[in-house]
Chains A and B, each alone.
Chain A
Amino acid sequence: MKIGVFVCHCGSNIAATVDCAAVAKAALEYPDVVYAQDTMYTCSEPGQQSIVDAVKEHGLDGVVVASCSPRMHEPTFRRTVERAGLNRYMFEMANIREHVSWIGRDKEANTNKAAELVRLAVEKLRRNAPLYAKQFDVTKRVLVIGGGIAGIQAALDAAEGGIEVVMVERESTIGGKMAKLDKTFPTIDCSSCVLAPKMVDVAQNPNITLYAHSEVESISGFVGNFTVKIRKRATFVDWTKCTGCGTCTEKCPTKNVPDAFNENISFCRAINIPFPQAIPKKATINPDYCRKIKEGKCGVCAKVCPTGAIVYDMVDEIVEEKVGAIIAATGYDLADWKVIKEYGGGAYPDVITSLQYERMMSASGPTAGHIHRPSDGMEPKNIVFIQCVCSRDPALGRPYCSGFCCMYTAKQAIMTKDHLPDTEAFVFYMDIRAPGKMYDEFTRRAQEDYGVQYIRGRVSAIQPTIRPDGKVGYIVRGADTLLGKQVEVDADMVVLAVGVEASKGASHLAETLRISYDHFGFFVESHVKLRPVETNTAGVYLAGVCQGPKDIPASVAQGSAAAAKVMALFAKPKLENDPQISVVDIKRCVDCGKCIKVCPYQAIEEVELRGGIKKAHVIETVCQGCGVCTATCPQGAIQLSHFTDNQILAEVNALCLS
């Protein structure tokens, strides 16, 4: 083998503390190195050209560049060696900038270390083999999990781009949390006026197949070729027949069902359509309450249904869909604030969540937009809003900021003033976080134009009292850290801006999708700054709050971004895998199955060869190249290309034996 070594000065970045010429000279002593030079900027056009020229002039069949981190320029130089006519994997990098020149001051030690790192790269390169990507077909369909605003946006954009979309929504209607909102900040425009048309578009777009009241059961396969099993939970209503006329709901005698859509501040019937603009607008029976299902008596809905859509013995159905990419947009849930005993732990009827308050203010909500406190229906004169409930609270294990509560609290305070001009609104806050367009102006408007009283401090306790008129009141005690004194507000009602957490079951879904999730269940993006939509599992993308708290505009933007990523993926006629994957030497494999057990991707299968002999086999397009199998296989039969045992051993021996 003939290896060329190029030692980069990186201007003075490396050369200031490493004798690059000496490193190049040392490299000439290494096995198979026939050419070595030091260059000012190897990544520059002339620098790259010098590599191409050297490959041709000296007949090199491998190149080592000693410069910056491979995480920076490995792709660059791989393209360079490819341009020179070599396989792109006949290349190695020695990181003598981030790992040497920038962290050590002793030039002698740095030079020696740089030379050793070059030696490691040479020893590895001597054992490299050309690798070739495999091409495979793509199913140009995308699965969108979650029908909130992020998922809706992603689905519509992808469908617009001509891609078939399969949308799975856990609830019986899409719309997500946004559908529950009355108004949105900072414009105070009607939430459903913005959302409902998009929901209708989803229903009407011929490219979108919607599975509501459904969940993802399992996912197999890999980028370009996923097979998704979807559990269609039984609705007990044949949706092909249901017209959404609502007769059943009117006649249903069971009226004590907590209305989840209204955040359980009101009741609905056992057969129900969540809200008038629901998509699909179909009725669903709640089997936990339906008398017919529970006790076998009743059957009123079946009697009144004009289309005969009621099916009391309906069971769950599993359907299978093939897709090439997946967008997770599973949104969020409010954290369980009832752990905070200082706020009553849920025992005080007039201490409610912001989302419950939102329903209360909604014209289509249970109170038809009138603000009445739950305990006695009184119109509150003093309302206290408490921010950062279950957010930014390390003591509760929730150190993160939920991002959008400052804004919606301002919105709710403003709307309170709109609804009830005589009512006082107090906001206890830690900091006001309003970094969006027109956001800070909005919170100022609340304070300056609407007279909302902002108190900087946390609430230490809510104390119920009986007022002289016999009515219940709530003493809200807290600190005003700006004035430096304790404050008390006698409130009629308290609204908690409860922080968000990943939606229930998110971690389970992450495991199904084989993507990472953090301590709070939020899905982990591929790179915090540069790959915020991608995950580390190829073909799986993120949109909305499932990735981390964000408001509607950001969720919509990420939904569109995810759709764009999918369209870019599908723009290619075929996909290529990364060939740095595991390969089984069938002559060594004894079919003990250990690799199959440990593979995080189910990328290894047992195959039967001639004569019934069984061996392990790597599915090339599924393997992600982690090498767990290689470190597990006792026979050394399964080797990770480009990181084989012999390559790593050569590096170890180069360091320790000579």
Chain B
Amino acid sequence: MSSLLFATPKELTGWLAKLAAGHRVLAPRQEGPAVVFRPQTAEQLAAADAEALLKRSTSSPKQAMLPQSETLVQFTSVKDAEDPSKLTTTLTVPEAAEPTVLFGCRPCDARGFVVLDRPYLEGPLKDPYYGARREATVIVTQACPKAFSTCFCNWVGSNPADSEGSDILFTVVDGGYALEAVTEKGAALLEGAGFAPADDKRQAVEEAHTAAAQGLAPSPDLAGAPAKIARRFTDEAFWTKETVKCLSCGACTYLCPTCQCFTITDEGSQLNGRRLRSWDSCMTPLFTLETSGHNSRAAKSARMRNRVSHKFSFYPERYSGYFSCVGCGRCVVSCPVSLDIRHMVTAAIEGIEAEAKPAATEAAPQPEAEAGKDKNAKGKPKKR
């Protein structure tokens, strides 16, 4: 366990301002009624009220690693002077990620990156764009002082002081902040910050963490949820009923720290253009629209089933039982019709047996996968 450091609000903003010299510093900023992560300059940070940098963001910090839209490659073509039908095309890949400090995440946000890491970095094919940004970014997380009524990180194996995915975790204490490096990257960033050691604050920190955790409503038993939800797959009536009010707007997926789907398009002209990767949403019918016009998820119920199942069934089955929902509650807060994923998950698992009965095997397509992974389904928090 590394040691605690203490910073006063002024020291904290001073440190961030100093970091801005060599880093892109992303921190929450109030814009109208919304709070968003923005690159902030040294001057802005030096002048900032530390409190203002601690607000919970309306949208997730996902775009620090996975921008809403990014250029994968740029192409320019030059015509052959002799034969104008011949083109010489040059491809340019955008510059590598710049060193970044992502300040002011909440534990759920930071854990979101761990969820994204698995599809983007695990396995034989790593995503170089995501990887480079992830590599270049130091994540400084604030332990939640308080749970919102839409928070449910405890459902998915986490808590308001979870350090998973963070490089530095800090906690609000009397007169300032207690910071602790979680990773070497975090420790390196804190080096030379000039913060005073503050191991005497340990108890205050623990108390703050406990208090925040107590503010959360108790979690239902989600053991076996992945298998149960998989077995709910064919229950069309259930999904139809649950999504009657859904507007298919997709706000939930764009706000989600772990929704990871993208689409690729080419923009520009034949002689000068770019290939873009931008966020996509499984809540829109276009997501599964095939060229033929056929759509395997034409109904919004099928699309909602995919979102819920991906978070609580498909992903855990693929990745050792981890849920891909981090319980931040943004999809609940911002849904125009107050759709609540917590309700859908509990309703989906209600009255469903985790183990497939022999007769029903055909209906549930992946009973084999379930057996080995159920024990991980609790998504237990990684304790250091």
Contacts and interface: CB of A to CB of B under 8 A. Distances in A.
Q: Do chains A and B touch in the complex (CB under 8 A)?
A: yes
B84 A31 contact: no
A32 B270 contact: yes
B85 A34 contact: yes
Nearest to B81: A28
A658 B269 CA distance: 10
Contacts of A29: 79
B269 A31 contact: yes
A29 B79 CA distance: 7
A31 B77 CA distance: 10
A2 interface: yes
Interface string B230-272: 0000000000000000000000000000000000000001110
Interface in B44-83: 79, 83
Nearest to B293: A587
A570 interface: no
Nearest to B268: A657
Chain A interface SS verdict (over half): loop
Contact of A2 (B85, B270, B271): B85
A594 B293 CA distance: 24
Contacts of B85: 2, 34, 58
A95 B79 CA distance: 26
Contacts of B270: 31-32
A31 B76 CA distance: 12
A623 interface: no
A28 B271 contact: no
A210 interface: no
Contacts of A28: 79, 84
A89 interface: no
A34 B293 CA distance: 35
A33 B85 CA distance: 7
Contacts of B271: 31
Interface in A1-51: 2, 28-29, 31-35
- Sorting the interface of chain A by its residue count into under 10, 10 to 19, 20 to 34 or 35 or more gives 10 to 19
A508 B327 CA distance: 68
Contacts of B79: 28-29
A28 B79 CA distance: 8
A33 B84 contact: yes
B265 to A, nearest CB: 15
Nearest to B272: A658
Contacts of B83: 34
A29 B80 CA distance: 10
A587 B84 CA distance: 38
A33 B271 CA distance: 11
B269 A35 contact: no
A33 B79 CA distance: 10
Nearest to A33: B84
A281 B83 CA distance: 81
A35 B84 contact: yes
Contacts of A658: 269
B84 A34 contact: yes
A80 B174 CA distance: 86
Contacts of A34: 83-85
Nearest to A28: B84
Interface string A56-70: 001000000000000
Contacts of A35: 84
Interface in A299-340: none
B75 to A, nearest CB: 13
Interface in B266-304: 269-271, 293
Nearest to B86: A34
Nearest to A31: B270
A253 to B, nearest CB: 77
A345 to B, nearest CB: 68
A31 B293 CA distance: 30
B268 to A, nearest CB: 9
Contacts of B84: 28, 33-35
Nearest to B77: A31
A390 to B, nearest CB: 61
A58 to B, nearest CB: 8
Interface in A109-161: none
Q: Most chain-A Cβ atoms within 10 A of its Cβ — which of B84, B270, B271?
A: B84
B272 to A, nearest CB: 8
A587 B269 CA distance: 26
Nearest to B270: A31
A31 B87 CA distance: 10
B221 to A, nearest CB: 44
A439 B270 CA distance: 68
Contacts of B293: 587
Contacts of B269: 31, 658
Interface in B206-246: none
Interface in A580-610: 587
A588 to B, nearest CB: 10
A32 B85 CA distance: 7
A581 to B, nearest CB: 23
A2 B269 CA distance: 16
Interface string A632-647: 0000000000000000
A637 B79 CA distance: 36
Nearest to A35: B84
A58 B83 CA distance: 11
A197 to B, nearest CB: 67
Contacts of A33: 84
A2 B85 CA distance: 7
B133 to A, nearest CB: 29
Contacts of A2: 85
Contacts of A32: 270
A34 B84 CA distance: 5
B356 to A, nearest CB: 35
Nearest to A36: B84
A33 B83 CA distance: 10
A587 B293 CA distance: 7
Interface in A494-533: none
Interface in A270-299: none
A28 B84 CA distance: 7
Interface in B177-191: none
A549 B293 CA distance: 58
A377 to B, nearest CB: 86
Nearest to A1: B270
A25 to B, nearest CB: 11
A626 to B, nearest CB: 29
A34 B79 CA distance: 9
A317 to B, nearest CB: 50
Nearest to A27: B84
Interface in B328-347: none
A34 B270 CA distance: 14
Nearest to A34: B85
Interface string B75-107: 000010001110000000000000000000000
B4 to A, nearest CB: 54
Nearest to A58: B85
A546 B20 CA distance: 81
Q: Most chain-B Cβ atoms within 10 A of its Cβ — which of A2, A31, A32?
A: A31
A31 B272 CA distance: 10
A33 B77 CA distance: 13
Contacts of A58: 85
A507 B269 CA distance: 50
Nearest to A650: B269
A15 B114 CA distance: 67
Interface string B154-196: 0000000000000000000000000000000000000000000
16 contacts: A2-B85, A28-B79, A28-B84, A29-B79, A31-B269, A31-B270, A31-B271, A32-B270, A33-B84, A34-B83, A34-B84, A34-B85, A35-B84, A58-B85, A587-B293, A658-B269
Interface of B: 79, 83-85, 269-271, 293
Given A28-B79, A34-B85, 7 more contacts: A29-B79, A31-B271, A32-B270, A33-B84, A34-B83, A35-B84, A58-B85
Interface of A: 2, 28-29, 31-35, 58, 587, 658
Q: Which 8 A-B pairs have the closest CB atoms?
A: A31-B270, A34-B85, A34-B84, A28-B84, A587-B293, A31-B271, A31-B269, A2-B85
